[in-house]
Structure 1
Amino acid sequence: MGALVTLELPDDSPILALPWIITFGPLDDDEEWEPVVCGPYERAHALALAQSVVADEELMAVVEPLLPRVSAEEIRAEIAAAQLAAAAEDEAADLADTSIYGDYEDLGAEEVIGEGTRRPVQAGQPPDATEVRAGIARIAAMLTRPHR
């Protein structure tokens, strides 16, 4: 039996109306393969598909909304918010650890497995919001065409 991860949202959340994707990956940390991303779907369809796939498989499915952002600034704001939330969670966890184990020093040891393939990225001109919206419309049209 696998695992399904998704957002718990109130019934009136506008995020429910967005397109949703499913990312399937290994449930076991010892298993390594590239995740498979499927979608976009309506949320109910994404949840049903994910549940049916992971029901009898040792897989993890993450069902999440596609958040169309039409500018680099909007994307940067999302990243900053996610980083801020993660930092707050880390700080809360550190405080909890300190209250249990006393104060400690993080030595910054990091386990590295394999060799990375990081390459420097050259900043380019991001598309404007009109171009991004037109691209989203083209994707929607492509998804609604009958398959041959």
Structure 2
Amino acid sequence: MGTLVTLQLPPGSPLVDLPWVITIGALGDPDEWDPVVCGPYQRDHALSLARAVVADDELMAVVEPLQPLDGVEAIRREVEAARTADFSEQDAPFGVAEVPAVPPTVDQVREGWRRIAAGILAP
């Protein structure tokens, strides 16, 4: 059995609505092979797909939000915010992410892509 790693989000977090990506790599020696990055997916789809992939294999899946930033300055602001974040007063984790038991179908994933595209392109 592999490992699934993701962010623990507080209820109502705006990150839930972002597109999410899955990075799958070796659970043992990280130099065995290059990780596979796939997505974007809706969060529930990403979690469920990642869980299904690592369920019967010695793999690690990291599920994280993809931030569609629109230029160099937006990326620099995000990098600066990450560099200066103060986690010393951070609350305890919010618990384990709920992962849907059944992975989405191909049609459900494609419908999710349509919703992601619409959300990214919305003003």
What TM-score results when the alignment is normalised by the length of structure 2?
A: 0.65
Q: Secondary structure at the match of 2:40?
A: strand
Gaps of 5+ in 2: 89-113, 119-123
CA distance in 2, matches of 1:5, 1:57: 15
Shift of 1:84: 3.4
**Corresponding residue number in structure 2 for 1:81:** 81
Q: Displacement, 1:82?
A: 2.6
Question: Aligned residue for 1:6?
Answer: 6
Are 2:21 and 1:21 aligned?
yes
CA distance in 1: counterparts of 2:15 and 2:44, whole angstroms: 13
Name 2:45's counterpart in structure 1.
Answer: 45
Higher RCO by CA contacts (8 Å cutoff, separation 6 or greater): 2
SS at match of 1:64: strand
Q: Name the structure 1 match of 2:72.
A: 72
- Tell me by how many angstroms 1:30 deviates: 5.5
Once the two structures are superposed, residues 24-81 of structure 1 have per-residue CA deviations (whole angstroms, 9 ceiling, x without a partner) of 0111136421110111111011000000111111111010111111121111122223
1:57 aligns with 57
Query: Runs (4+) of structure 1 moved beyond 3 Å?
Result: none
The one-letter code matched in structure 2 to 1:75 is I
RMSD: 2.5
Q: Identity across aligned pairs (percent)?
A: 62
| Higher Cα Rg, which structure | 1
User: CA shift at 1:7, angstroms?
Assistant: 0.6
Matches within 5 A, 1:131-146: 140=117
Matched residue count: 92
TM-score, normalising length: structure 1? 0.55
Q: In structure 1, how many angstroms separate the alpha carbons of the residues matched to 2:62 and 2:42?
A: 14
Aligned AA (1:70): D
Distance 2:78 2:31 in 1: 30
Secondary structure, in 3 states, of the residue corresponding to 1:8? Answer: coil
Where does the alignment leave 5 or more consecutive residues of structure 1 unmatched? 93-136, 142-148
The letter for the 2-side match of 1:33 is W
